[in-house]
Amino acid sequence: MSIVKGKHIILGVTGSIAAYKVAELARNLTLDGAIVDVIMTAAAQRFVGAATFQALTGRPVLDDMWALPEDGVVGHVSLGQHADLLVIAPATANTIARLAAGLCDDLLTTTALATSAPILIAPAMNPHMYEHPATQANIALLRQRGVTILEPAYGRMAEPVIGRGRLPEPAIIEAEIRALLGRTCGPLRGRRVVVTAGGTHEPIDPVRFIGNRASGRMGYAIAAAARDRGASVTLISGPATAQPPAAVTLIRVETALDMQREVVSAIASADLLIMNAAVADFRPATASEHKIKKGDDEELTIRLVRNPDILASIAHRRDLVKIGFAAETHDLLTYAHEKLERKGLDMIVANEAVASIGAEDIQMILIDAQGVERLPQLPKPVAAERLLDAIIERFAARLRAPEIGSMTTEE
């Protein structure tokens, strides 16, 4: 189930030309089942009409601090009390300054003061205004108070200026929203998850390599699903064609040896490793320093040497929940069982290699000490959600965060 489903999200829209971009965000959150209340400042309404947000969220747009809601409590207090998250996007330099100063002279700033929900701010402004020491000091102060502030994107502004000040893409803001909601109430909150994805490139010479057809799609979907459940995710990705998820720590690697080094370092403090990468079993014994010329040769022999088995090399980490993948073209279950044993895994996800590598869908067979569960053919993002839920259920004692309310330590 989507982490945003049933959540009450207040979306504050302030006076920036980027205001039109968050219409898409309001729409996506609403379609995912969130209750989205949009607060617009007076300046925001000069850029986009309230009717746009009203139509997309199916709820009235709020802008009047003095309007009394049905429960009779003054609007700003009531709104903040019911919210799971306050998102301000785009946030102007002026709004950021007013929030930093603790002013409450309109519905948005008063709601921000009255709420105990997490706050996410996505600034958008002229690059000079963003870089100005006043704005930077205000941002630093808000961060210090626990507000999450996204870095604006670099690029062309509406006026002919290039710099850092563009509103991040709605997909990036949405990813941050999911991560924040997950960290507040997801079953993996407080947990560290390492996911590997993509393939590896084993260099032959400076321009050629041995690689495979992995797209990164499944591993990236797994990283996003773990993030949405509240985990801090380190995604170690080999070369891949898919778009990696936002709001995770992304480490890019090329070779199996690079991947092994990064995995060993990342799992030092992790609770769960999901090893989805298609790691090359062999690499050229030497990578030529210069581009190999064919000359008069009719044949070329490249000697390959064995790469380390990353999972097998960390089999001693019994405290870490370890999940592997087995993509096979034949004797799927036999090989998968053998890998589960040999690599000391808690679970292995068997799948048909030809059908799933590089594809949009995957049919997974989950194998662990308890038995075998076949899942239907699913789009990879859906399969990733199902996989994470199965992992959390099966290894609850080692992974699940304590029930909210029964926590004794601050997370």
Choosing from 28, 126, 138, 212, the catalytic residue is: 212
Q: Which is nearer to ligand CTP, 277 or 366 (CB)?
A: 277
Measured from the CB of residue 208, what is the shortest distance to ligand CTP in angstroms? 21
Q: Which amino acid is at 279?
A: V
Among 13, 34, 150, 310, binds ligand CTP (CB under 6 A): 310
Q: Which is nearer to ligand CTP, 233 or 247 (CB)?
A: 233
Q: Cα angle vertex 291, ends 286, 294, to 5°?
A: 100
Among 135, 215, 307, 356, binds ligand CTP (CB under 6 A): 307
Among 256, 357, 387, 401, binds ligand CTP (CB under 6 A): 256
Asked if residue 324 binds ligand CTP (CB under 6 A), the reply is: yes
Q: Which is nearer to ligand CTP, 151 or 341 (CB)?
A: 341
Q: Taking a C-beta distance cutoff of 8 angstroms, is the pair 215, 380 a contact?
A: no
What tokens does 167 get?
């509103």
Measured from the CB of residue 150, what is the shortest distance to ligand CTP in angstroms? 32
Measured from the CB of residue 179, what is the shortest distance to ligand CTP in angstroms? 25
Among 23, 327, 340, 357, binds ligand CTP (CB under 6 A): 327
Interface with ligand CTP in residues 332-371 (CB under 6 A) = 339, 343
Among 117, 311, 384, 399, binds ligand CTP (CB under 6 A): 311
β-sheet bridge partners, residue 155? 163
Q: Which is nearer to ligand CTP, 328 or 389 (CB)?
A: 328
Q: Which amino acid is at 333?
A: L
Q: Which is nearer to ligand CTP, 3 or 277 (CB)?
A: 277
CA neighbours closer than 13 Å in the CB half-sphere of residue 337 = 9
Cα→Cα distances 292→59, 200, 408, Å: 64, 21, 62
Asked if residue 325 binds ligand CTP (CB under 6 A), the reply is: yes
Q: Which is nearer to ligand CTP, 118 or 324 (CB)?
A: 324
Q: Taking a C-beta distance cutoff of 8 angstroms, is the pair 218, 384 a contact?
A: yes
Binding mask 261-300 toward ligand CTP (x if CB under 6 A, else -) reads: --------------x-x-x-x-------------------
Measured from the CB of residue 393, what is the shortest distance to ligand CTP in angstroms? 21
Asked if residue 112 binds ligand CTP (CB under 6 A), the reply is: no
β-sheet bridge partners, residue 397? none
Measured from the CB of residue 380, what is the shortest distance to ligand CTP in angstroms? 16
Asked if residue 236 binds ligand CTP (CB under 6 A), the reply is: no
Q: How many residues bind ligand CTP (CB under 6 A)?
A: 15
Measured from the CB of residue 306, what is the shortest distance to ligand CTP in angstroms? 8
Measured from the CB of residue 284, what is the shortest distance to ligand CTP in angstroms? 15
Q: Which is nearer to ligand CTP, 83 or 326 (CB)?
A: 326
Q: Which is nearer to ligand CTP, 114 or 311 (CB)?
A: 311
Asked if residue 219 binds ligand CTP (CB under 6 A), the reply is: no
Asked if residue 130 binds ligand CTP (CB under 6 A), the reply is: no
Annotation marks residue 212 as catalytic: yes
Contacts of 195 (CB under 8 A, 6+ apart): 219, 222, 223, 226, 233, 234, 235, 236, 273, 274, 276
Asked if omega into 381 is within 30° of 0 (cis), the reply is no
Q: Taking a C-beta distance cutoff of 8 angstroms, is the pair 86, 12 a contact?
A: yes
Among 61, 326, 390, 399, binds ligand CTP (CB under 6 A): 326
Asked if residue 204 binds ligand CTP (CB under 6 A), the reply is: no
Applying CB under 6 A, the residues found at the interface with ligand CTP are: 256, 275, 277, 279, 281, 307, 309-311, 324-327, 339, 343
Catalytic residues: 212
